[in-house]
Amino acid sequence: MGDSLPARCPMPSGWSFPARTTGGGSAIPATSCATWMSFWLLSATLEGRSEDATAALFSVPLCGMAQQVEWRAPMPYLVNRQVKIHFQQLGEGPPLVLQHGFSDSISGWYEAGWVKRLGRHFRLIMIDARGHGLSDKPHAPDAYDLSHRVDDVLTVIDTLGLERVHFLGYSMGGWIGLGLAQAAPHRLLSLTLGGIHPYGQDMSPYRRGIAHGMDGWAKLVQQAAGGRIPDSTMQRIRANDPQALAAAVAHDRPALKGPWDQLRCPCLLFAGTHDPLLPQVERFAHELPEAQLVRIEDADHTQAFFKPARLTPAFLELLQPSKDHV
């Protein structure tokens, strides 16, 4: 998988593509979208590139005849510890790694509006965590050790030739960010964590929920959020591999010792005011010498992720990638 379209699938006359197409793209008229994508997917399948075809299919939103959609090139993968990790790049600017929460995927960053708000300021590097999205889904609990998840992130940024990155993670993604800050603090330009703390967490509620299958887990998530989760998110949750998710939460999260008072990069913590984890997040904010705390009003643990407008002003002010914070 490369950064350009296959030679056997030339771009139709009058269409152009930027030099960098990995994760980004140019608009394709909707009247041609279905024909072009059918042709590209058929070519990829006939040439034996099923991963390209699958990634392209999941990367292109459904379109109506009167709309324009954004075509995105097939997404890259890499292999770490025999697990294939899927990631996507988009935008220009300082590198910002986005790591999603449990039972979500890269798609969540688009759906909740984070990509729209941050893509104009940063080079976004979005990673499907192992067990999620288009990444491999091992069924062995040991495959989900925090050290392996941190290695996944480091392998991605090493592959991209990046020495240091900004990091934004939510919930499980924030847990991975804590592991990254503990193992490789010198690789961080900044650390932004939502709905997470380093004091350990009992994962038995997750295990009980997943024991009812993905439909049961999705219902629990929806109930906990007061029914305010988009249908598309619920569909994405139901599409998960239940054995992989069960393996991912087979062990409780241990407390991470830090030393957090020696972490010198800018840090931003956020959580919903109705998130039961907020008191621990507030406690953690006092331990970090460079930390700011943002409370997302009228939001629980799940809902806070869907309110990027409440966080991005503080986020952009902290990092100052550009003067335009609109």
Q: What is the mean pLDDT of residues 253-273?
A: 94
Q: Are residues 57 and 149 in the same domain?
A: no
Q: Are residues 39 and 84 in the same domain?
A: no
User: Is residue 190 pLDDT above 70, yes or no?
Assistant: yes
pTM of the model: 0.78
Instruction: Give the per-residue pLDDT at 74.
Output: 54
Q: What angle do CA 136, 140, 144 make, to 5 degrees?
A: 70
The predicted-structure confidence for 114-134, as pLDDT tens digits, reads as follows: 999 999 999 999 999 999 999
Q: Are residues 86 and 54 in the same domain?
A: no
- 10 part of a folded domain: no
- 7 part of a folded domain: no
Q: What is the mean pLDDT of residues 18-24?
A: 34
Q: Are residues 42 and 94 in the same domain?
A: no
Identify the residue with better confidence: 39 or 181. Answer: 181
- 12 part of a folded domain: no
Confidence band for 276, pLDDT divided at 50, 70 and 90 = very high
Number of domains in the chain: 2
Q: Residues 269, 292: contact at Cβ < 8 Å?
A: yes
- 2 part of a folded domain: no
> Can you give the chain as a three-state secondary structure string?
CCCCCCCCCCCCCCCCCCCCCCCCCCEEEHHHHHHHHHHHHHHHHHCCCHHHHHHHHHHCCCCCCCCEEECCCCCCEEEECCEEEEEEEECCCCEEEEECCCCCCCHHHHHCCHHHHHCCCCEEEEECCCCCCCCCCCCCHHHHCHHHHHHHHHHHHHHCCCCCEEEEEECHHHHHHHHHHHHCHHHEEEEEEECCCCEEECCHHHHHHHCCHHHHHHHHHHHHCCCCCCHHHHHHHHCCCHHHHHHHCCCCEEECCCCHHHCCCCEEEEEECCCCCHHHHHHHHHHCCCEEEEEECCCCCCHHHHCHHHCHHHHHHHHCCCCCCC
Q: Are residues 117 and 161 in the same domain?
A: yes
Residue 173 sits in a domain of what CATH number?
3.40.50.1820
Which position has the token pair 């910002």? 96
Boundary residue ending a domain (70, 102, 124): 70
The predicted-structure confidence for 281-295, as pLDDT tens digits, reads as follows: 999 999 998 899 999
User: Is residue 104 pLDDT above 80, yes or no?
Assistant: yes
- 236 part of a folded domain: yes
Instruction: Give the per-residue pLDDT at 282.
Output: 98
Instruction: Give the per-residue pLDDT at 319.
Output: 86
The predicted-structure confidence for 149-158, as pLDDT tens digits, reads as follows: 999 999 999 9
User: Is residue 2 pLDDT above 70, yes or no?
Assistant: no
Instruction: Give the per-residue pLDDT at 49.
Output: 41
Boundary residue ending a domain (37, 70, 103): 70
User: Is residue 16 pLDDT above 50, yes or no?
Assistant: no
- 3 part of a folded domain: no
Q: Are residues 137 and 98 in the same domain?
A: yes
Within a 10 A sphere around the Cβ of 163, how many other Cβ atoms?
A: 10
Q: Which amino acid is at 94?
A: P
Q: Alpha carbon 199 to chain centroid distance? A: 23
Identify the residue with better confidence: 222 or 119. Answer: 119
Which position has the token pair 């999205």? 133
Q: Are residues 50 and 159 in the same domain?
A: no
Q: Are residues 98 and 224 in the same domain?
A: yes
Instruction: Give the per-residue pLDDT at 51.
Output: 42
Q: Are residues 99 and 182 in the same domain?
A: yes
- 11 part of a folded domain: no
Instruction: Give the per-residue pLDDT at 137.
Output: 98
What residues make up the domain containing 221?
77-319
Q: Are residues 138 and 47 in the same domain?
A: no
Within a 10 A sphere around the Cβ of 164, how many other Cβ atoms?
A: 15
Instruction: Give the per-residue pLDDT at 223.
Output: 84
User: Is residue 187 pLDDT above 70, yes or no?
Assistant: yes
Q: Are residues 245 and 182 in the same domain?
A: yes
As a whole-number percent, the residues of the chain with pLDDT over 70 amount to: 75
User: Is residue 36 pLDDT above 60, yes or no?
Assistant: no
Confidence band for 20, pLDDT divided at 50, 70 and 90 = very low
d(CA 50, CA 41): 9
Instruction: Give the per-residue pLDDT at 75.
Output: 60
